[in-house]
Structure 1
Amino acid sequence: MASSTLNRWLRPEVYPLFAAVGVAVGICGMQLVRNICINPEVRVTKENRTAGILDNFAEGEKYAEHALRKFVRNKSPEIMPSINGFFTNPE
């Protein structure tokens, strides 16, 4: 019984599915760790939870304006701008 189940799911056709699910789980895990570790609104320790709501706007701004957001802010929202330009602006 276990052998047939193993043979059913470990075919080469299923590897892309495993890769896609693995990447999705990795992204979710990374976001959870990021929120727990550096989000100013998440307080894990009891000492921090007793502080209540803090007006720490500078820390919130630092969390929201991370390096990736700063990098893509002035970029064109295209995946392949050179190919898009080639097909939309023929010479």
Structure 2
Amino acid sequence: MANRWLRPEVYPLFAAVGVAVGICGFQLVRNICINPEVRVTKENRAAGVLDNFAEGEKYSEHFLRKYVRNKTPEIMPSINSFFTDPK
């Protein structure tokens, strides 16, 4: 039974599912720990709706978003420009 699931052909599937589960887990922990709209403790939930815009801006404007903001959405810009830009 174990030989049916542990073939080398199945390893990429395990890797893809593992990466997907890792990304989901990272996002879950990130939201629980630092999202200003998620309140886990009873004291924080009792505070009601807070208008804390600075904390929300800090959460949404993270490093990766700031880094890719002015970048072109290309995977290989040098190859794209080689084939598309006229000489």
Please say whether Structure 1 and Structure 2 have the same fold, judged by a TM-score greater than 0.5: yes
Shift of 1:90: 5.0
Measure, in 2, the Cα distance between the counterparts of 1:18 and 1:53.
42
Where does residue 61 of structure 2 map in the other structure? 65
Q: Give the fraction of aligned pairs with identical amino acids, expressed as a percent.
A: 86
| Equivalences for residues 15-54 of structure 1 within 5 A | 15-54=11-50
Instruction: Note the alpha carbon deviations across 1:8-59, whole angstroms, 9 max, x for none.
Output: 1100000000000000000000000000000000000000000000000000
Shift of 1:79: 0.8
- Structure 1 stretches of 4+ with a deviation exceeding 4 A read none
Measure, in 2, the Cα distance between the counterparts of 1:76 and 1:83.
13
Measure, in 2, the Cα distance between the counterparts of 1:55 and 1:67.
23
Unaligned runs of 5+ in 2: none
Shift of 1:89: 1.9
Unaligned runs of 5+ in 1: none
Say how many residue pairs are matched: 87
Instruction: Note the alpha carbon deviations across 1:54-82, whole angstroms, 9 max, x for none.
Output: 00000000000000000000001001111
Where does residue 9 of structure 1 map in the other structure? 5
Q: Determine which of 77, 81, 85 is the counterpart of 2:77.
A: 81
TM-score (norm: length of structure 1): 0.92
